[in-house]
Amino acid sequence: MSSDEETNPRCRMDENDIRALSESQVTLRKEVDELKVLCKVLQSEIHSLRDQCAALRSENQQFREKFQQVESRVPLQSMLRISNINVDTEWVANGIVVAGASGPGSAINQLWEPYSVCIDDDDQTIYISDCNNHRVIAWNLNTQIGHVVAGGNGKGIGANQLNSPRNAILDKKTDSLIICDYGNRRIVQWPRQNGKYGQTIKSNIECYGGFAIDDDGYLYASDFVKNKVIRWKEGESEETIVAGGNRDGNALNQLHSPTFIFVDQNRSIYVSDKDNDRVVMWPEGAKEGIIVAGGHGKGNDAIRLKYPYGIVVDRLGTVYVADSWNNRIMRWKKGAQEGSVMISANGREDQLNPLDYPIHLAFDRDGSVYVVNQKNHRILKFLIDSSRSSS
């Protein structure tokens, strides 16, 4: 035995110790290799989870986009499709002026023969087609003045101009207004926020106010001169005639100067057939319409209309009509042979702001009716009369 081994026992190592150490090293190497394999498996699983997360994010984004498309349509249609109005609801006789000062004018607190109103309940804002001022004006319901959101640069055909706009509908999906630019024979889309120019989405059409969008993104427009209603897919040029198109006339497959339209949840199209003094409903794919209001010639009794314009249809099938020349808003229950007067210029001495050529109407989410009182250059709001209405 060497002197070092004698003085330091730790240095002494027999073959068994060496063998045990070697086996330990082998075991450690195996464990390291196993850990490396496990790491690779974990890395693979992590990559797989990342891919799954990416796929879920993509699916979530697609869902959000689809939801936003539906959500963007719901506010639009809820301005029109009212489901919470009892068929026996009554409204107060006196309207509240919510837009427009006395007399016509071009100041931002005035209107000049407005044609339509569109309500955004979320923003408490109404959008008005201010026809003779060649602009669309937004009016917050808590203010006394509006601000121009489209046109307002004089009558003209330029991209920053309008010519006698008849209707403006809010499309929240694109945060834009879609406008029937009647005098320019076109339909334009105008950014709602700080938009300086509009983009033509349909030309060579005499859209007298009849425009609608359904929940699937189809656009509808009436042609006042060609006596038809067309439908096309948003972003596409191919169009289909869905009502009329058989020259002017009073047969059930004809229209005569159609103005405003309404599309319900079943894609049935309701048309204000102005010169036939009736409202006609065309189910999807139908070759002719069904008279749902008027249709007995001009008159002011319960079965007649005289030059109907704006229409709204609720989910019960009740039709609400701006009976312009009779200075009244009429209601036709589904299947009824005659209508009832909702609001009128009844000549009562205590009536404030009587109707004078009401041309369009819209409902807010509370069931209040907004009426475009054209010849008084105002928008009136009529509240539900809770003392006379069924719950």
* Among 166, 225, 176, CA closest to 201: 176
pLDDT tier at 40, thresholds 50, 70, 90: confident
pLDDT of residue 26: 78
Cβ neighbours of 37 (radius 10 Å): 10
pLDDT of residue 111: 97
Residue 55, Cβ density class (10 Å: 0-12 exposed, 13-18 middle, ≥19 buried): exposed
pLDDT of residue 167: 98
pLDDT tier at 78, thresholds 50, 70, 90: very low
Please count the helices (runs of H) and the strands (runs of E) in the chain: 2, 24
Task: Please answer whether residues 334 and 279 qualify as being in contact, where contact means their C-beta atoms are separated by less than 8 angstroms.
Answer: no
Residue 229, Cβ density class (10 Å: 0-12 exposed, 13-18 middle, ≥19 buried): buried
β-strands 147-151, 135-140: how paired?
A: antiparallel
Phi, then psi, of 59 in degrees rounded to 5? -65, -40
What's the token pair of residue 175? 């945060």
40-68: average pLDDT: 73
232: left (phi over 0), alpha (psi -120 to 50) or beta: beta
Helix (H) / strand (E) element for 91: namely: none
pLDDT of residue 79: 43
Task: Please answer whether residues 133 and 114 qualify as being in contact, where contact means their C-beta atoms are separated by less than 8 angstroms.
Answer: no
Give the integer Cα–Cα distance in Å for 47 and 49. Answer: 5
pLDDT of residue 51: 79
pLDDT tier at 13, thresholds 50, 70, 90: low
Residue 39, Cβ density class (10 Å: 0-12 exposed, 13-18 middle, ≥19 buried): exposed
Task: Please answer whether residues 259 and 280 qualify as being in contact, where contact means their C-beta atoms are separated by less than 8 angstroms.
Answer: no
Instruction: Give the domain ranges of the chain.
Output: 3-71, 83-382
**C-alpha distances out from residue 300 to 33, 267, 305, Å:** 95, 30, 6
pLDDT digits (tens, 9 = 90+) for 80-111: 456 568 888 999 999 999 999 878 999 999 99
pLDDT value at 34 more than 50: yes
Amino acid identity of 229? Answer: V
pLDDT value at 156 more than 50: yes
Task: Please answer whether residues 81 and 264 qualify as being in contact, where contact means their C-beta atoms are separated by less than 8 angstroms.
Answer: yes
pLDDT of residue 71: 46
205-217: average pLDDT: 93
pLDDT of residue 76: 44
Indicate the fold that domain 83-382 takes in CATH.
Answer: Neuraminidase (2.120.10)
Q: How far apart are the first and last CA of the chain?
A: 112
**C-alpha distances out from residue 238 to 70, 200, 218, 283, Å:** 23, 15, 11, 21
pLDDT digits (tens, 9 = 90+) for 350-379: 556 789 999 999 999 999 999 999 999 999
pTM above 0.85, yes or no: no
pLDDT value at 317 more than 90: yes
Greater pLDDT, 23 or 116? 116
∠ at Cα 266 (262, 267), nearest 5°? 50
